[in-house]
Structure 1
Amino acid sequence: MGWWWRLLLGLWAVPPMCTGRELLHVCMNTKPHKQEPGPEAELYGECIPWKDSACCTASTSWDAHLDVSLLYNFSLVHCGLMTPACQRHFLQAICFYQCSPNLGPWIQQVGGGGLGEGVDPRRQAERVLDAPLCLEDCEHWWADCRTSQTCKSNWLGDWVWSRGKPRCPERAPCRPFPHHFPTPADLCERIWSGSFRASPELRGSGRCLQKWFEPARGNPNAEVARRFASPAHSWVLSRLAFPLLLPLLS
């Protein structure tokens, strides 16, 4: 048996880190997040949709709406005021990341603080990676931010602090969003270093996540998390990946 076969069989033999049940209705292991989801009647602004089951507190939801975020050490106004529509998308994305209990299938352990800074040293740092945002979410986000400006395509770190505010690095001029993000997928996938992935699927398909939803209609992301956490979904992915390995195995 060749070494590629041994590697492949070894990978398939490794048990998953979490069962499907453990991937559902969970919070990330980071300082701003609660240890487990629960009701939060006093959530603020764009975080309100998660009030029935949230991984964020009311205080965290308030901090998420500040121009200089205490959660992520960056400023939404680092290149001047955004349009209200653009700013709303970012607030929704922050609330989604902090409050959603449906990100379990995409939570990964990391050495640093994930999307935010200042992780509690008593807890293992985690982040979300490649969470599939619905097609419309990326397209509307990009369209509503076309006239706003930024100086960076990756907002994770490398800001320069001056007078208590994070500012653009030297020789990083402010330019319209399309300069840094030519397509909607670029915006979704680059803005927070791969936390999100641009999905080709539409809202309501059950195969992509909505970064915001109407509270009265219920949380559609619970169904998506169940689909991605299911053993059947993992089996299908492994079978889809197998043909890609065939040239290496021959």
Structure 2
Amino acid sequence: MPEKCKQHFIQDTCLYECSPNLGPWIDQADTSWRRERILNVPLCKEDCELWWEDCQDAVTCKENWHKGWNWTSGTNRCPCGFMCQPFKYVFPRPADRCEKIWSNSYKYTTEHRGGGRCIQMWFDPANGNPNVAVAKYYAQNGRDASPAPRAVLLLLPAALLALL
């Protein structure tokens, strides 16, 4: 795995294991190896696209890394009959890589870093954690909240007045 690609997976693990801001996306899991998981965390467009770009030349035999591995040797190996190929073929678009590799733990968004509507994997902690505001927003508005419906609601009173 190229070093730049590996750094994204390390950052992903740090976010998953240590971030106090993933609460709105925690779901119950019914597996032997965990009781909770994150689901559909809105990942900032730049983070998803950079991860995809830096990993295009890495190789994998599977689209979903959560399950389906051959563990008979004691470590995870590709299942019999699966062929390794570059990420760019397994995940042709950034959304494919971000959403499929961890069973929809992340959701590709068109939201940008700093906009308060997507989780950033990469940020300078000296400038504060931008994910605090994102978690608060989704905790108050629901994890499937979208800025678009709120904008429509703001325009609704003006539209109703125009009808009078």
Q: Deviations over 1:6-65 (max 9, x none)?
A: xxxxxxxxxxxxxxxxxxxxxxxxxxxxxxxxxxxxxxxxxxxxxxxxxxxxxxxxxxxx
1:218 aligns with 2:131: no
Out of 172, 187, 198, the position equivalent to 2:108 is: 198
Q: Is the 8 A contact 1:148 1:176 kept in 2?
A: yes
Could you tell me which amino acid in structure 1 is paired with residue 2 of structure 2?
T
Q: Deviations over 1:168-217 (max 9, x none)?
A: 00111110001111100110000100000011100000010012322212
Bigger Cα displacement from structure 2, 132-141 vs 215-224: 215-224
What is the distance in 2 between the residues matched to 1:207 and 1:237?
9
> Kindly, what percent of the aligned residue pairs are identical?
51
What is the distance in 2 between the residues matched to 1:148 and 1:187?
12
Could you tell me which amino acid in structure 1 is paired with residue 25 of structure 2?
W
SS at match of 2:71: strand
Could you tell me which amino acid in structure 2 is paired with residue 199 of structure 1?
T
1:111 aligns with 2:34: no
Give the alignment's Cα RMSD to 1 decimal. Answer: 1.9
Q: Mapping of 1:18-97 within 5 angstroms?
A: 82-97=1-16
Structure 2 residue runs without a partner (length 5+)? 150-164
1:105 Cα deviation (Å)? 0.7
Structure 1 residue runs without a partner (length 5+)? 1-81, 120-124, 241-250
1:94 Cα deviation (Å)? 1.1
More helix by share: 2
| Other-structure match for 1:144 | 54
| Other-structure match for 1:128 | 38
Q: Deviations over 1:44-102 (max 9, x none)?
A: xxxxxxxxxxxxxxxxxxxxxxxxxxxxxxxxxxxxxx000001111111111111100
TM-score computed with the length of structure 1 as normaliser: 0.56
Question: What is the count of residue pairs matched by the alignment?
Answer: 147
CA 1:218–1:111 in structure 2 vs 1: closer, same or farther (change >3 Å)?
A: same
1:163 Cα deviation (Å)? 3.8
What is the distance in 2 between the residues matched to 1:212 and 1:139?
12
TM-score computed with the length of structure 2 as normaliser: 0.83
| Other-structure match for 2:137 | 227
1:237 Cα deviation (Å)? 4.7
Out of 66, 76, 82, the position equivalent to 1:172 is: 82
Q: Is the 8 A contact 2:138 2:145 kept in 1?
A: no
1:162 Cα deviation (Å)? 4.7
| Other-structure match for 1:154 | 64
| Other-structure match for 2:95 | 185
Could you tell me which amino acid in structure 2 is paired with residue 227 of structure 1?
Y
SS at match of 2:27: strand
What is the distance in 1 between the residues matched to 2:87 and 2:50?
13
Q: Is the 8 A contact 1:96 1:212 kept in 2?
A: no
